[in-house]
Amino acid sequence: MNALIIFALLTALLITGMPVSISLGLTVLTFLFAFTQVPIESVALKLFTGIEKFEIMAIPFFILAGNFLTHGGVARRMIRFATSLVGHWPGGLGLGAVVACALFAAISGSSPATVVAVGSILIPAMVKAGYPLRFGAGVVGSSGALGILIPPSIVMVMYAVSTNSSIGALFMAGVIPGLVLAAMLMFTTWWRAWKGGYPKEARATWGARLKFFRESVWGLFLIIVVMGGIYSGIFTPTEAAAMSAVYAFFVAMFVYKDLKWKDVPKTLLASANMSAMLLYIITNAILFSFLLTHENVPQAISEWILKSGLGVIGFLLAVNLLLLVMGNFMEPSSIILITAPILFPIAMKLGIDPVHFGVMITVNMEIGMITPPVGLNLYVASGISKLGLSEMTVAVWPWLLTMLIFLVIVTYWPPLSIWLPKALGMM
């Protein structure tokens, strides 16, 4: 009964159009005040102790690193390198966009940032080269979703914080699925281009490829700094995030010299805004999680699922359907922080690996990024391409279908996610 009241309160507040973070906090305060004897002072205490986690510091640092790299011309050099590798195939610029998104994803940790960095350069270039606008916007909007699967990933940090999972193991678990999804998106791009007779670029010489690689190597080296540092134990994921922010600033300011001193305050302010928004959502979501635990909601739901004999296959299918529906209406951070405390204990009781479960949830969040009406990537790509939201939705459907097929593979074939962290001794 209490669970129904809590979710009815939350749903009612969300329907009014209230921001997710305030809806979560207000649900907790209303329920505690009206239906329990819990002193309201404990809420203030929980607000502070809930966010007192070292891992949460990784989020602002990864956002800052991504912003320095977006403004620092790193994306432009990566795009040139990516296009030199695959540009000579049908739909060369589209294939280059997928590779560039995968490379930028490995240094930014954010999906919208990847779409902005790659799309603002490649969508106009594709239109100029004779590609349909819908094709360019569709391939970049959907490939940008790789930003939250290929590590480092802010969404994975959110999941790890919510479930006390290992961020390092999650990052490593995202590598192979990220590469497989990139390959599948490339195949879809090539197929569409080949069928549509879209143009291809002149084959780049190995000398040109080497030149473009040398130009982009400073940005690519960040992948080694973050992943190598975490795996070798030189630093924790949070320290890796701080290192990546310092390194990104150094490269953008002193190596490529695309970032000017006058741009630094604006970049810092944009990063602070984004970080404050996410941290405010996290704080209220931790409160909400505290309320659910206090009322034994996760335990009651898990007992009901185990009694109903749903089983692992049925449970994973139900979770996917729930997350795909929520992905239409909410952004990834909010979904993970609301659902993870409920779904995670059930997954553990059913014997599902926590890292595999985290990767599956992340892929669901990727799909949510390109589904209307709240898909962030759709809005970003729409802003760059000047296509309407309905046109953008049509533009991404071939890649959306590919991602749904990939979701089935990730869900029911755990070794795809957990082989690498196990091989590296991180699980």
Question: pLDDT (tens digit, 9 = 90+) per residue, 235-292?
Answer: 888 999 999 999 999 999 999 888 899 999 999 999 999 888 888 888 888 888 888 8
pLDDT range class, residue 2, cuts 50, 70, 90: confident
224: nearest Cα among 247, 204, 201: 247
In this structure, what token pair is assigned to residue 406? 């990939």
Summarised one tens digit per residue, pLDDT across range 74-112 is 888 999 999 999 999 999 999 999 999 999 998 887 888
* Token pair 């940032």: residue: 113
The mean pLDDT value for 224-237 works out to: 88
Percentage above 70 pLDDT, the chain: 100
Summarised one tens digit per residue, pLDDT across range 23-67 is 888 999 999 888 888 887 888 888 888 777 888 888 899 989 988
Supply φ then ψ for residue 55, to 5 degrees.
-65, -30
pLDDT at residue 212 is higher than 90 = yes
Residue 413: other Cβ atoms inside 10 A: 11
Q: What is the pLDDT of residue 72?
A: 66
Supply φ then ψ for residue 414, to 5 degrees.
-55, -35
Q: How far is CA 131 from the centre of its chain?
A: 28
Which carries the bigger pLDDT value, residue 48 or residue 138? 138
104: nearest Cα among 81, 132, 133: 81
Supply φ then ψ for residue 187, to 5 degrees.
-60, -45
Taking the C-alpha atoms of residue 180 and residue 404, their distance in angstroms, rounded to an integer, is 13
**Per mean pLDDT, which of 58-62, 66-70, 355-359 is the most reliable?**
355-359
Summarised one tens digit per residue, pLDDT across range 296-339 is 887 788 788 878 878 899 999 999 999 998 888 888 888 898 88
pLDDT at residue 396 is higher than 70 = yes
pLDDT at residue 351 is higher than 70 = yes
Q: Name the residue type at position 47.
A: L
Distance in Å from the first CA to the final CA of the chain = 39
Residues shown for the chain: 427
pLDDT at residue 1 is higher than 90 = no
Q: What is the pLDDT of residue 37?
A: 84
Is residue 204 within 8 Å of 87, Cβ to Cβ? yes
Percentage above 90 pLDDT, the chain: 55
**Per mean pLDDT, which of 4-8, 39-43, 392-396 is the most reliable?**
392-396
pLDDT at residue 376 is higher than 90 = no
Close Cβ partners of 153 (under 8 Å, ≥ 6 residues apart):
109, 147, 170, 171, 174, 362
Q: What is the mean pLDDT of the chain?
A: 90
